[in-house]
Amino acid sequence: MTNASDRQRIWLTGATSGIGRALAERLLEQGHRVALSARSESALGELAAGHDNALLLPLDVADRQAVRQAGERLGEAFGGLDLAILNAGTCEYLDVRDFDVDLVERVFAPNFFGAVYCIDAALPLLRRARAEGGHPLLAATSSAAAYLPLPRAEAYGASKAALSHFLESLRLDLTSEGIGVSLIHPGFVKTPLTDLNDFPMPMRVTVDEAAETILGGLERRRLDIHFPRRFTLLVRLMGILPPGLRHRLGLRMTRQDTPVETRR
């Protein structure tokens, strides 16, 4: 159990499934005061059962007003925030032969704009913790897909690349305030979301492995928490290859399905 002096005030979004749930369970068991956010209030209640150190903040992160209200409630309950982990997100893949702008908007809404809304709500509370003498940290879950353009990942990869760029820029501007920023770039993790994928997922890790790696990285205040490292280092290497070579490698991963006009 964490010592009382080490207990933190934490806000975790996307708390009821996958990586978020694994993180929530560990943080609650460690004795931190954890505000849990997800869309399902019943799922949050089940997760928090037996933990009087949990604060339930059900919300859709893509709802700007709901996030603002959650931030106000969080401020009233905790005063400040020592750690914000913005983990909520979704994934849909684009079929370019049936180009779907609504799909792109659906993916960007929680993955990018939802994170921005949460940052807007969390920053005053992180600043309050800093004024109290703390060392607050803002973290967000991006993806290894942010390192490299991939087939069908136009929406998902772009939303995560936008998030990574935004947070890296924000890190530069928050350094003078003493607020740290960590980015989390997972490879494939076995979650209900990735269970829907219809393609090979090399080096996929469990949510328990992911949670342990993330919490260890946050404790060390790492700028980039990426895993599994053999996979993410390979993806990062591919991302800095000359454009022509990167294009040829990408084409090898592109599906060679029957053209849409001849399908039945």
Q: Give the number of other CB atoms < 10 A from CB of residue 70.
A: 23
Please determine, for residue 5, whether its predicted confidence score (pLDDT) is greater than 60. Answer: no
Tokens 């996979």 — which residue?
A: 231
pLDDT per position as a tens digit, 20-39: 999 999 999 999 999 999 99
- β partners of residue 37: 13
pLDDT per position as a tens digit, 126-149: 999 999 999 999 999 999 999 999
Pick the CATH number of 4-262 from 3.40.50.720, 3.40.1410.10, 3.10.20.90, 3.20.20.70: 3.40.50.720
Q: Which residues are identified as catalytic?
A: 156
Q: H-type helices in the chain, by residue range? A: 18-29, 41-48, 64-78, 101-108, 115-131, 154-174, 207-219, 229-239, 243-252
pLDDT of residue 255: 64
Tokens 């991006």 — which residue?
A: 142
Please determine, for residue 264, whether its predicted confidence score (pLDDT) is greater than 80. Answer: no
pLDDT per position as a tens digit, 82-91: 999 999 999 9
Q: Angle between the 154-174 and 101-108 helix axes, to the nearest 10 degrees? A: 30
pLDDT per position as a tens digit, 58-95: 999 999 999 999 999 999 999 999 999 999 999 999 99
Distance CA 224, CA 184 (A): 6
Please determine, for residue 260, whether its predicted confidence score (pLDDT) is greater than 50. Answer: no
The domain ranges of the chain are 4-262
Which one, of 219, 220, 225, 223, lies nearest residue 2 by Cα?
Answer: 219
Please determine, for residue 3, whether its predicted confidence score (pLDDT) is greater than 70. Answer: no
**pTM confidence score:** 0.90
Please determine, for residue 197, whether its predicted confidence score (pLDDT) is greater than 90. Answer: no
Mean pLDDT to the nearest integer, 153-171: 97
3-state secondary structure string across 131-180: HCCCCCEEEEECCHHHHCCCCCCHHHHHHHHHHHHHHHHHHHHHHHHCCE
Mean pLDDT to the nearest integer, 186-201: 78
pLDDT per position as a tens digit, 107-126: 999 999 999 999 999 999 99
Distance CA 120, CA 141 (A): 16
Mean pLDDT to the nearest integer, 191-213: 82
Output the average pLDDT for the chain: 91
- Among 2-6, 201-205, 219-223, the minimum mean pLDDT is found in 2-6
Please determine, for residue 2, whether its predicted confidence score (pLDDT) is greater than 70. Answer: no
Which one, of 142, 130, 127, 161, lies nearest residue 223 by Cα?
Answer: 142
pLDDT of residue 79: 96
Angle at 133 between CA 128 and CA 137, to 5 degrees: 65
